[in-house]
Amino acid sequence: MIAVEGVEKNTIRQHYQLGTAFYWLLWGPHIHHGLWSGNESSFQAQCQLTDTLADLIQVDSRDQVVDIGCGMGGSSIRLAKHRGCHVTGVTLSPIQRRWAAVTASLKGQSKRTRFIADDAERIQFSENQFDVVWSIECTEHLYDKPAFFQNAARWLRPGGRMAIAVWFEGQDTSRHDHRQQVEEVCRRFVCPSLATQDDYANWMTSAGLVVRDKIDWTDRAAKTWEICKRRVSRTGVRHIAKVLDQDQVEFLDGFDTLLEAYRSGAMQYGAIIAEKPRQ
Ligand SMILES: C[S@@+](CC[C@H](N)C(=O)[O-])C[C@H]1O[C@@H](n2cnc3c(N)ncnc32)[C@H](O)[C@@H]1O
């Protein structure tokens, strides 16, 4: 795992408080990579990522799902609408919570969703409360990742499933140039640390989960940042960011760093599927 100093929880919260409108302009309601098979639009590719993950853990209408780091509710609302499940979304940002709740209401999904503004590292849920723990691109922002998986495993009922999509540190952890690239990504994208897929799998196993699948989607997802780069250069987003907040400029200027990290193998994008044994 590669950790950096100086990324504060409050900076992460602020990033999403202020950045939500930028994300919406750049990406729409889903704040995550797309998963391409061909020439789909970025929105289709993002939905494809959510749907593929949902298929892998077979989300259905009987499920109580917790969506950790739910953003504007992109996944939560899609899961509720298309799978008929009930979803509790948790986000660090009160603005995102409101945004998600309003969107759910506009899409007729208020009864199946609820959104909470809280810290996933502090929030308490009951033991066995959920059938599914779901998290797309949030665990990168957590400080004590092993402790999170201990808690999340407790929230799952026996037989429950976990699906996470993650920006991973690449497999070859020995290279100094890779380390530098990952550290720059951490700083620009407000992540206290990034870890390898094996680190994550070990934390999940230590929490009592059985890892069913480890998937590398780097080649199918990296294009996201090419598209973001084009959108930033075509729109006035960067000028608005400059007026509002230097951290947002760091973020918008960091897309090449990410692309390079994927190309070099310093980073990997993918998912992990796990299950809590029935005993
Ligand atoms: C890259 S966005 C992903 C959003 C959403 N999963 C999606 O796919 O559209 C990261 C999300 O993680 C949330 N987040 C970061 N740290 C968190 C924490 N400690 N507790 C809860 N949410 C957190 C942010 O508020 C943001 O909603």
Q: Read off the pLDDT of each residue in 229-249 and give the average, rounded to a whole number.
A: 70
Looking at per-residue pLDDT, the higher value among 100 and 24 belongs to: 100
Half-sphere exposure at residue 250, Cβ-oriented, CA atoms within 13 angstroms: 12
The whole-angstrom separation of Cα 17 and Cα 115 is: 15
Pairing of strands 113-117, 64-68: unpaired
Percentage of residues in the chain with pLDDT exceeding 90? Answer: 83
Q: What spacing in Å lies between the alpha carbon of 233 and ligand 1's midpoint?
A: 25
Q: Give yes or no for residue 65 CB within 6 A of ligand 1.
A: no
Q: What is the pLDDT of residues 32-56, one digit of tens each?
A: 999 999 999 999 999 999 999 999 9
Q: Select from 134, 53, 127 the least CA-distant residue to 86.
A: 134
Percentage of residues in the chain with pLDDT exceeding 70? Answer: 95
Q: Give yes or no for residue 71 CB within 6 A of ligand 1.
A: yes
Residue 243: band (very low, low, confident or very high) from pLDDT cuts 50, 70, 90: low
Helix ranges (H only) for 57-144 are 74-83, 94-106
Q: CATH number of the domain that 115 lies in?
A: 3.40.50.150
Q: Give yes or no for residue 19 CB within 6 A of ligand 1.
A: no
Which residues lie below 8 Å from residue 39, measured CB to CB, with a gap of 6+? Answer: none
Nearest atom of ligand 1 to the alpha carbon of 16 = 25
Nearest atom of ligand 1 to the alpha carbon of 141 = 16
The whole-angstrom separation of Cα 212 and Cα 163 is: 10
Count structural domains, the chain.
1
CA distance readout (Å), 192 to 108, 119, 145, 183: 36, 15, 10, 9
* Structural domain of 191: 2-275
Q: Does residue 223 sit in helix, strand or coil?
A: helix
Q: What spacing in Å lies between the alpha carbon of 240 and ligand 1's midpoint?
A: 23
Q: Chain-centre distance of CA 242, in angstroms?
A: 25
Q: What spacing in Å lies between the alpha carbon of 279 and ligand 1's midpoint?
A: 32
Residue 99: band (very low, low, confident or very high) from pLDDT cuts 50, 70, 90: very high
Please, what's the b/e burial string for 217-244 (b: 16 or more CB within 10 A of its CB; e: otherwise)? bbebbbbbbebbbebbeeeebeeebeee
Please give the backbone phi and psi of residue 62, each rounded to the nearest 5 degrees, phi first: -85, -10
Q: What is the pLDDT of residues 60-93, one digit of tens each?
A: 999 999 999 999 999 999 999 999 999 999 999 9
Instruction: Provide the pLDDT for residue 239.
Output: 66
Q: Give yes or no for residue 46 CB within 6 A of ligand 1.
A: no
Say if residue 127 is exposed, middle or buried (CB neighbours under 10 Å; 0-12, 13-18, 19+): exposed
Instruction: Provide the pLDDT for residue 196.
Output: 98
Q: What spacing in Å lies between the alpha carbon of 73 and ligand 1's midpoint?
A: 10
Which pTM was predicted? 0.95
Q: What is the pLDDT of residues 105-164, one digit of tens each?
A: 999 999 999 999 999 999 999 999 999 999 999 999 999 999 999 999 999 999 999 999
**Does pLDDT of 240 surpass 70?**
no
Q: What is the pLDDT of residues 185-216, one digit of tens each?
A: 999 999 999 999 999 999 999 999 999 999 99
Instruction: Provide the pLDDT for residue 19.
Output: 81
For residue 2, list its beta bridge partners: 194
Q: Select from 277, 273, 203 the least CA-distant residue to 59.
A: 273
The whole-angstrom separation of Cα 107 and Cα 95 is: 18
Q: Select from 275, 143, 161, 271 the least CA-distant residue to 208.
A: 275
Q: Which of 10-14, 99-103, 106-110, 252-256 has the lowest mean pLDDT?
A: 252-256
Among protein residues, the one with the nearest Cα to ligand 1's atom 4 is 71
Identify the DSSP state of 29: S
